[in-house]
Amino acid sequence: MQIRLHRDALRAGSHGLNELGGVDTLDAGGFRTQISTYRTGAAVMPPTWSRMFPAHPDQVSHARRYLGQLLEDCPVADDAVLCLSELASNAIVHSRSREPGGCFTVHARLDGNRLRVEVRDQGGSWQSPGPTSEDAQNGRGLLIVGQLAARWGCEGHSQSGWSVWFELDVCP
Distance CA 123, CA 41 (A): 34
Q: How confident is the model at residue 127 (pLDDT cuts 50, 70, 90)?
A: low
Q: What pLDDT sits at residue 148? A: 95
**103-125 burial string, b = 16+ CB within 10 Å, else e?**
bbbbbbbbeeeebbbbbbbbbbe
pLDDT single digits (tens) 37-86: 444 454 556 678 999 999 999 999 999 999 999 998 889 999 999 999 99
The DSSP string of 28-93 is: TT--EEEEEEEEETTEEPPPEEEEEEES-TTHHHHHHHHHHHHTTT-TTHHHHHHHHHHHHHHHHH
Q: Are 94 and 105 members of one domain?
A: yes
pTM over 0.85: no
**What's the CATH number where 66 sits?**
3.30.565.10
Q: Are 59 and 129 members of one domain?
A: yes
Q: How confident is the model at residue 128 (pLDDT cuts 50, 70, 90)?
A: low
Q: Are 91 and 159 members of one domain?
A: yes
Q: Are 18 and 57 members of one domain?
A: no
Residue-number span of the structural domain to which 94 is assigned: 48-169
Number of domains in the chain: 2
pLDDT single digits (tens) 134-157: 665 566 788 899 999 999 999 988
Q: Are 74 and 145 members of one domain?
A: yes
Q: Are 57 and 137 members of one domain?
A: yes
* DSSP bridge pairs for 168: 115
Q: What is the DSSP letter of 22?
A: E
Q: Are 142 and 62 members of one domain?
A: yes
Q: Are 97 and 68 members of one domain?
A: yes
Q: Are 60 and 102 members of one domain?
A: yes
Position with higher pLDDT, 157 vs 11: 157
Distance between first and last Cα of the chain: 34
